[in-house]
Amino acid sequence: MHTAAKLYYLEGLSQVEVSRKLQISTASVSRLLARAREEAIVRIHVAELDEIDEIGDRLRSALGLVDVRVVETSDSGAVAALSSQISLLLKSRELSAGSVVAIGWGRTIQAVIAAGLPKIPGVTIVPTMGGLDETASHFQINEFVRIAAEQMQGQACFLHAPSLPSPELRAVLLRDRATSRILDLWPKIDVAILGIGDFQNASTNRDIVFGRHESERVVGDVVRHYFDAAGHEIDWPGHADLMAVSAGQLRRTPLSIAVATGSEKLRAIIGAARSKMINALVTDARTARLLLDELEGRL
């Protein structure tokens, strides 16, 4: 019971992940968590809004970001709450027709887009990179662009190119008019909505090879630009051919929002903030508290 409660409440694992780790059914996990609450092993504390704001302010200062939005919510309402904060950030930029919004990929991005983005008629929606050689739905970045454009009443611009082409194919793509249009829009991005990759657990790293020393340093990536815990970029063979918005372009983006939750993402979130490829973070209170513990040396 104590182990299940620790994994769920302190380490941020879902009930499904806890059941797999402990090799028990999800129903058993649910019963153990209920017993932990009944026996006061776990006490549920609903944070006041002032406390949530304070956590966000402390985290913003500690990470050197321009904005941090923290949501305190149950698992069932987390996605809607995260999406709501992204909508508020988008509205704060006073975007209008012709503004450029870039979309990343991943499970979290897929979920928050499905929950809904605000109507900002006339905006241009672009992908942050080419397609990945993956079949799972959370890798389909052009589809995310289409959905986002439909929700926002904007114009979708698709990139029909692989994220990691050969040097020969990349040279051809750069001469393609449709591809060039996307590349010309990347320096003009007003807002980017991005995920943060956890290098150790990502399935998309099999086509990227680091040297032994470099692989030990990597903690995460933003749009396949990999970095260490201090935010220093780590180059890899083929990086120069990556068909994606550059790290420099992300650093010059007025609002580059990362959406990330979970204890497994702590070092990646910190590294991403230090890399300056993101300047805003949307997360949940559990992750925010763990981040503060990590940054303040309490973990």
For the stretch 240-257, pLDDT in tens is: 999 999 999 999 999 999
pLDDT band for position 204 (cuts 50, 70, 90): low
In a domain, 44, yes or no: no
22 and 152 in a common domain:
no
107 and 232 in a common domain:
yes
In a domain, 19, yes or no: yes
Domain count for the chain: 2
127 and 67 in a common domain:
yes
In a domain, 278, yes or no: yes
For the stretch 71-125, pLDDT in tens is: 986 555 688 899 999 999 999 999 999 999 999 999 999 999 999 999 999 999 9
115 and 212 in a common domain:
yes
- In CATH, what number is assigned to the domain containing residue 78? 3.40.50.1360
Mean confidence (pLDDT) of the chain? 88
In a domain, 176, yes or no: yes
21 and 63 in a common domain:
no
For the stretch 12-59, pLDDT in tens is: 566 777 778 888 887 787 777 667 666 666 554 444 556 888 999 999
Spatial distance between the Cα atoms of 109 and 99, rounded to a whole number of angstroms: 20
| pLDDT (mean) for 197-225 | 79
In a domain, 43, yes or no: no
129 and 23 in a common domain:
no
Structural domain range at position 170: 49-295
106 and 23 in a common domain:
no
In a domain, 115, yes or no: yes
Share of the chain above pLDDT 70, in %: 85
In a domain, 14, yes or no: yes
53 and 22 in a common domain:
no
What's the confidence (pLDDT) of residue 45?
A: 47
156 and 32 in a common domain:
no
In a domain, 211, yes or no: yes
166 and 106 in a common domain:
yes
Evaluated on CA atoms 47, 52, 58, 63, the torsion sign reads positive
282 and 147 in a common domain:
yes
